[in-house]
Structure 1
Amino acid sequence: MLYAFGSNGRGQLSLGHLEDAHTPAPCLIPSLFPSVPPREIAAGGNHTVLLFPSGECFFAGDNTENQCCLPSTIFPSLTSFHPLSSDHRWEHVSAGWSFTILVDYEGKIFVSGNGQKGELGLGEELRDALLEEIIDFSPGKVIQIASGMAHTLLLTASGDVWGWGAGRKGQLGEPTQSIVPRPRKVEVGFPVSKLDCGKDFSILVNRDNPQHMEILGNDRYRIGPSLASWSGTGILDVQASWNGVYLLETSGTIKAWGKNDRGQLPPPNLDGITSIAVGSEHALAIAEDKTTKERKIITWGWGEHGNCGKSGGGDVIGEVFTLDISAPENVRIGAGCATSFVWMEG
């Protein structure tokens, strides 16, 4: 069962309508929808992508720019999840404001949508695409891909990073270019094990020394110096919001730095956290009581569109909100641009 809540003006929650949802609501799903949890949940400005272990992809939301990998003349908007009919088995997916990046099991990289700042990676002249391959680009085995609002980073098994799109703030490394229209190697001086993209910055984790992380691009909230002085336990996960960085430590605690005007940073003393999902300016987490092993799903941050799950909407500042749905062991969470998703068996 897949639940969604938050911003839904283009149908990106797959609820069959265009109204925001302030509490978790069951998504409309097609008959051929997989019964296993999605491996990846990606969200753009107003569209959502689900990637399943089978290599199948499902899209919902705004498709006026072909960002759902379907012809916009036929499907301008999808108010319920629609499968991507394709001969490809997809391995990785990411989504930016109005584009989607897909990597298949052969390592071929495809793009769909609109990009005025090189977001598609197809060169300076091509700003619109419908599931088009980035040719003459073979970076090696891809293990992760991430997109911010207008830039994308791709990580290979060798620890190399490639990027394209908007680069004016330095989020794609040196030399700084306003637009990087084709994939280029991002030189950081160390092999990378994990990465993510904020609105106009990037974070990269050193594979050889995981406590060393690099911020590229706009660091107006001085996240880089905070990371440099961090001396916590090991890292389970690293994710970025539009203006923040969140570390899930092996101890089950979260450390976060960045913008906090709407409660985006977690309250202190959270523990027992087993999973996080960071959206544009809000977050979800699965928390487990160390004694009873009882699990719950909590949210905090910007909640104007209902994306924190509170009845009536509203921000969750300095505390967490516990969703009124169960959290069995096999549960997945996802977050996007004022959108939230919870998958559980049932």
Structure 2
Amino acid sequence: NNANGQLGRTTATPFDAIPAQVPGLTGVETLSAGFGHSLALREDGTVWAWGSNSFRQLGFPETTRSNPTPRQVPALTGVTDVSAGVYFSLVRRAGGSVWAWGLDPSVRFPREGDHTPRRVDGPKHVIALAAGARPLVMEKNGTVWGWGWNSTGVLGTGSNIRSTPVRARGLSGLVSISAGYRHVLALREDGTVWGWGDNLFMQLSPYLPELQTTPFQVTELPKVVAIATSASHSLAVAEDGTVWGWGDNSTGQLGPFVTTIDPVR
């Protein structure tokens, strides 16, 4: 999809099936693709953005739906990680501080966003970012913090709305997190997988209600070493190198012959 210029080029149609280099970018260290915009972190610690800026998620004051040319986010240096959310952007700077701009995730019916990167108060030693529909971060001690409108339970707190970061309940010893559109997976150091949020497509578990507001263990999996989430399905890499998937399979994202609702290899 290139309807918002998120591929970094102008095409005659709102999509492009042919891979092509994003022009004007070299020395890139990390990439992140959001709902309609893209972020790149260069080796010099600068952040570059392109795609939709409808809520100023690119870090520029003008609001444009299509901006295919990568531009440097102003007044932002010393960045070590980036994560593009639905209508907002997150970065981690040297020292573990988190900065955000774009749509305020705690506003239910927003009209505009803020293009200025602002430091997020709360977590101080962040080592991982996960931006989906709402922003999440993981601290060095293995705890997860999130903030914003919590209608789908992605904060893992059971509460309604949080304008400042709040810690997800009952989680510690984490090594990685991954945020889908409206659900979250977390991997603990013991190889267990924990999830919370939207379960409409059973992307968390086939044995839970459509909404899970507090973290629970996905018990149907072997020992896991890596996790990934998409809009409505989940993936895990087991210790033996096999890949497991569960959730929505309407377009064959779990494999062409999958019919079971359980996590399947």
User: One fold, TM greater than 0.5?
Assistant: yes
Partner AA of 2:166 in structure 1: R
| Inter-CA distance 91–268: structure 2 relative to 1 (3 Å threshold) | farther
Alpha-carbon deviation of 1:154?
A: 0.2
| Inter-CA distance 229–104: structure 2 relative to 1 (3 Å threshold) | same
Equivalences for residues 100-249 of structure 1 within 5 A: 100-115=89-104, 117-118=105-106, 128-134=113-119, 137-148=121-132, 150-177=133-160, 179-207=161-189, 209-210=190-191, 212-225=192-205, 227-231=218-222, 234-235=224-225, 237-249=226-238
Alpha-carbon deviation of 1:52?
A: 2.8
Alpha-carbon deviation of 1:8?
A: 0.7
The corresponding residue for 1:258 is 247
Residues 30, 40 of structure 2: 8 Å contact kept: yes
With a CA cutoff of 8 Å and minimum separation of 6, indicate the structure with the bigger relative contact order: 1
Hey, what's the Cα distance between the residues in 2 that align with 1:126 and 1:158? 36
Residues 126, 140 of structure 2: 8 Å contact kept: yes
Alpha-carbon deviation of 1:224?
A: 4.1
Hey, what's the Cα distance between the residues in 2 that align with 1:152 and 1:132? 14
Alpha-carbon deviation of 1:109?
A: 2.2
| Inter-CA distance 126–175: structure 2 relative to 1 (3 Å threshold) | farther
The corresponding residue for 2:17 is 22
The corresponding residue for 2:37 is 47
Aligned residues: 246
Equivalences for residues 61-76 of structure 1 within 5 A: 61-72=51-62
Residues 102, 110 of structure 1: 8 Å contact kept: yes
Q: Could you list the runs of 5+ residues in structure 2 that have no partner in the other structure? A: 207-217, 259-265
| 1:39-79 deviation line (CA, Å, top 9, x unaligned) | 33212221111123432211111113211112216x66421
Residues 119, 164 of structure 1: 8 Å contact kept: no
Q: CA RMSD in A?
A: 2.8
Residue identity over aligned pairs, in percent, reads 22
Alpha-carbon deviation of 1:246?
A: 0.7
Residues 202, 248 of structure 2: 8 Å contact kept: no
Hey, what's the Cα distance between the residues in 1 that align with 2:89 and 2:36? 11
Residues 122, 164 of structure 2: 8 Å contact kept: no
Residues 141, 172 of structure 2: 8 Å contact kept: no
Hey, what's the Cα distance between the residues in 2 that align with 1:97 and 1:71? 18
